[in-house]
Amino acid sequence: MEDLEEKLKKKLIEDRQREHYQKEQWIDDLWVEEKAYLLAFADQPYPVFKETAIKFNKYNEFLLDGYLVHVPKAKNHVHLRCLKEWNCFKVISHEGGILLEDYRPYMKKRRFLPWNDILKGWLEKPRSIHYSRYFSYLPGRISEYLSVPSIELRSELRRSRVNNLLSLLVQHDIKKINDDFYDLTLQEDQEDASHPYEVNWTEYDALQPSGKEEKAHE
């Protein structure tokens, strides 16, 4: 929309360089005269939005612009409403709290992922991590970190590692944690780092294409 606005502005300025079909004067000159009678815009922007009630499915999803949008723990609230502006939206609780704020799907912007809420959900159900819709969005090292091969230790170890990630999210985003994984995560988890079921990071990194950045998500 921003690009369209700039192109339209340029076209309209160019279009003023011609004679008016009825007044036989240059449109640009008429515009200069007319500007003296125009009212100024308001100092504060006028909020234009539409607010509607939301119906969620059993997966805590609601339909927006033809896309399913997931709101973590939406079922914990009795009434939720969606406040839609032309380019963004907010999911608001009955008490006025904002549960989710993001661009509308048709904006094709990078979507914000609420990793703190997602990890808290995984902390309650560590066995569901691999089945989560968000697991595939994890950066490479963190994905391997949460992939515990031992069935006997899986739940306990995953819960411990999720806790470590939650503590790191207080000061760092998910991309920073992945980029500085050795300095951050393994320092938080020294005891786990020496565990016989720990990931072999040397072998893992050797398999990664050289010169290619790992996928990162906000």
pLDDT at position 162: 85
Percent of the chain with pLDDT over 90: 27
What's the pTM? 0.52
| Average pLDDT along the chain | 80
Token pair listed for 105: 């799907």
Mind listing the pLDDT tens digit for each residue in 30-44? Answer: 999 999 999 988 888
- Mean pLDDT (whole number) for 119-132: 81
Alpha helix segments (H runs only) across 139-193: 140-145, 154-169, 174-179, 181-188, 190-193
pLDDT at 79 over 60: yes
- Higher-scoring residue by pLDDT: 80, 132: 80
Mind listing the pLDDT tens digit for each residue in 192-217? Answer: 444 434 555 555 555 555 444 444 44
pLDDT at 160 over 50: yes
pLDDT at position 6: 94
Show me where the domains of the chain are located. Answer: 2-35, 50-107, 115-206
pLDDT at 47 over 90: no
CB within 8 Å of 107: residues ≥ 6 apart: 87, 88
In whole angstroms, what is the distance from residue 155 CA to residue 161 CA? Answer: 10
